[in-house]
Structure 1
Amino acid sequence: MAPNPQFFLKTAPLPGEPPSPYTNLYLRHHGSGINSVVLTPAPPKFIKGHLDGKRIIFTSASHEGRQWGLTLRTDGGQRAGWEKVEIVEDGGSDGLVFSEGVGDGKEELLEFEEEDSGEKVWKGFMVCEWAHGHPQLFWVTYQLKGELPSFCHRVQIVREML
């Protein structure tokens, strides 16, 4: 059985939008006991992603047998209009898929495939200057009724195949 193709995840501007300070940054696990996803200019050194059904799983050659999953948290009940994105050991949100994007490169965009509950939840991603010393990734919910905070920008997430 052939292994799943591996990739890194990185940010891209929304269609028709100019690049922001958060364009072309790589998603990385914060580490040090913190599951937050932070963004850095260089690809992560230790983890690479692959699809496992409709979950994104990260593995590391230095930690054989351990897996981390990309998780869209819902701790705040989505009332603020955004929630944390984390990389959690033995975790991972189900429903993450790639669709063909726009632009010259036709990059594949990461999206959340909503459950068939009839209620929309997912509205995209945003990056904010937050508490970790690096920009942090959040997902935007349909509860967001106004503008983003001034320290945040909307982004798309694309995959860079290895």
Structure 2
Amino acid sequence: MNKQQFFLKTAPLPGEPASAYTNLYIRHHGSGINSVVLTPGTPKFIKGHLEGSRINFTSSTHQERQWGLTLCIDGATRAGWEKVEIVENGGSDRLQFSSNSETNEEVLEFEGEDAGEKVWRGWMVCEWASGHPQLFWLTDKLKDKLPPFCHRVQIVRELL
């Protein structure tokens, strides 16, 4: 079966201007670190594809290996924002693309619920310890403003 391959990249929220975090590509940090970092160039080794409600990545050099886009929860309960990782043989369910009629782009969203309440509020990028901007997901627990070193973004699909 031929799977439609794509890259994932950042875009501004509807109605907002482009920022320093616009048009950056999602890639695996590597070197034993599963974090998702953002870079201006397309990833060299992995391409995404949708499998049901998961985003999986395959390597151009090791096609038998797969990594999944994983929305992490650190601890027993969610914080206001949580890490996003690319984990071998992992991946979060309930990811989907929705159409943005204004920009004609497909936007990646998470349809998670807890006790009937939607838990997902979007994505943010932060200048973090990895040397590259890092991707996080926002949860329903976020009650305050984002930290000053972070910026809200959308994640869109760029078909190959």
SS of the counterpart of 2:10? strand
Once the two structures are overlaid, the 10-residue window that deviates more, 60-69 or 107-116, is 107-116
Preserved contact between residue 113 and residue 119 of structure 2 (Cα < 8 Å): no
Q: How many equivalent residue pairs?
A: 159
* Map 1:45-84 → 2, pairs under 5 A: 45-76=44-75, 77-79=77-79, 81-84=80-83
TM-score (norm 1): 0.95
Separation in structure 1 between the aligned mates of residue 99 and residue 78 of structure 2, nearest angstrom: 27
Once the two structures are TM-superposed, the CA of residue 116 in structure 1 deviates from its matched residue by 7.1
Separation in structure 2 between the aligned mates of residue 139 and residue 9 of structure 1, nearest angstrom: 15
Consecutive unaligned residues of structure 1, counting only runs of 5 or more, are: none
- Cross-structure match for 2:131: 133
Specify which structure has the higher proportion of strand: 2
Once the two structures are TM-superposed, the CA of residue 102 in structure 1 deviates from its matched residue by 3.7
Separation in structure 2 between the aligned mates of residue 119 and residue 33 of structure 1, nearest angstrom: 35
Preserved contact between residue 15 and residue 102 of structure 1 (Cα < 8 Å): no
Once the two structures are TM-superposed, the CA of residue 75 in structure 1 deviates from its matched residue by 1.2
Separation in structure 1 between the aligned mates of residue 38 and residue 141 of structure 2, nearest angstrom: 24
Once the two structures are overlaid, the 10-residue window that deviates more, 37-46 or 108-117, is 108-117
- Cross-structure match for 1:119: 117
Deviations 1:38-94 (A, max 9, x none): 000000000000000000000012112100000000114222x00000000000000
Separation in structure 1 between the aligned mates of residue 153 and residue 120 of structure 2, nearest angstrom: 14
Superposition RMSD in Å: 1.1
- Cross-structure match for 1:10: 9
Once the two structures are overlaid, the 10-residue window that deviates more, 122-131 or 112-121, is 112-121
